[in-house]
A = this chain, B = another copy of it.
Amino acid sequence: MKTLGELDPVLHSQLRLAVVSILVGTEEADFTFLKEKTGSTAGNLSVQLEKLSSEGYISIEKTFRNKRPLTTCRITPKGIRQFEIYVKAIQAYLKPGK
């Protein structure tokens, strides 16, 4: 019997998936941009970025801009790969089928 495959738990989270989806389509994005674009709270975003970073899906660079902290995120090759795998896996769930 054909069963539905596993969905990567790192990506099967609304906020982490949103972040990765944004980063896949852009060169880089800073904390404030991601916060506004995803509509998340800063606390939740901070935690989920840390998770994505510790799993190697994104890189995080902390610098300053206009004397204020600037957190810049970029997707890694692993992040891109995992995102593509996730997209294929969940597609199977979206097509109704016995």
Binding site for B on A (CB under 8 A): 1, 3-4, 6-7, 12, 14, 17-18, 21-22, 24-26, 29, 36-39, 83, 87, 90-91, 93-98
A90 to chain B, nearest CB (A): 7
Q: How many copies does the complex hold?
A: 2
> What B residues does A3 contact at CB under 8 A?
36-39
Q: Which residue of B12, B14, B21, B96 contacts A25 across the interface (Cβ within 8 Å)?
A: B96
Q: Within the assembled complex, what's the spacing in Å between the Cα atoms of A96 and B25?
A: 5
Contact between chains at A22 and B97 (CB < 8 Å):
yes
- In the complex, the chain B residue whose C-beta lies closest to that of A86 is B94
Contact between chains at A25 and B90 (CB < 8 Å):
no
